[in-house]
Amino acid sequence: MKHRLCEIEMKVILRQDYEPLGKSGAEIEVKDGYARNYLLPKGIVFPATAKNLKIIQEDERIRSKKETFKFKSAEEHAELLSNASVIVKQKAGEEGRLFGSVTSQDIASRLAEQGIELDKRKIVMDEPIKLLGTYQVRVKLHADVEANIQVSVLKEEEENK
């Protein structure tokens, strides 16, 4: 015979994304014991009260505003970057093979010299550039916003003494 208390469900609101249950702000029903003994003490959920619903809605509104601001800022930055080009001078051998390589740090440094601040981790390069030439390098500014930068790698002329 089943115990009636085991079948009691409790309405809760997720405070954060939690893979087995859903996304932040979702109102769900879970077993009472699971909520009381695990989800509430870990801070994963709130009890589904009117006050907590308002708090979650306000948090979601603020999060949405921040996300919209980040998206617009990333779009503006992408437009600025789409007009940017970078020239990197490196020592190279006869066949155009570089002594060393051009990395995302080098590109970010050259952009900074032009007054464009960019975190090197946003520059997407499968591998460093090791040959002379012109390349299109992808920059991921936001989950939905990308830009391309033209990077020209030229041979550094050695001074004769």
Bridge partners (DSSP) of residue 86 are 151
Residues 6+ apart with CB under 8 A from 98: 90, 91, 92, 129, 130, 131, 132, 153
Element (H, E) at 33: helix 32-34
Residue 145 has pLDDT above 50, yes or no: yes
Amino acid sitting at position 13: I
Tokens 């948090």 -> residue: 59
Residue 7 above 80 pLDDT? no
**What CATH class does 8-76 carry?**
alpha beta
pLDDT digits (tens, 9 = 90+) for 60-113: 899 899 999 999 999 999 998 988 899 999 999 888 999 999 999 999 999 999
Q: How open is the CA angle 99-86-74, to the nearest 5 degrees?
A: 125
Fold type of domain 80-155 = Ribosomal Protein L9; domain 2 (3.10.430)
What whole-number distance in Å separates Cα of residue 150 and Cα of residue 42? Answer: 48
pLDDT of residue 161: 42
Domain ranges of the chain: 8-76, 80-155
Predicted local confidence at residue 158, as pLDDT: 63
The pLDDT of residue 160: 47
- Rounded to 5°, the CA angle 122-137-84 comes to 90
Inter-residue contact 144 to 68 (CB < 8 Å): no
> Each residue of 15-59: pLDDT tens digit?
888 998 998 888 999 999 999 999 999 999 989 998 988 888 898
In this prediction, residue 8 carries a pLDDT of 86
Confidence of residue 114 (pLDDT cuts 50, 70, 90): very high
Residue 15: per-residue pLDDT: 86
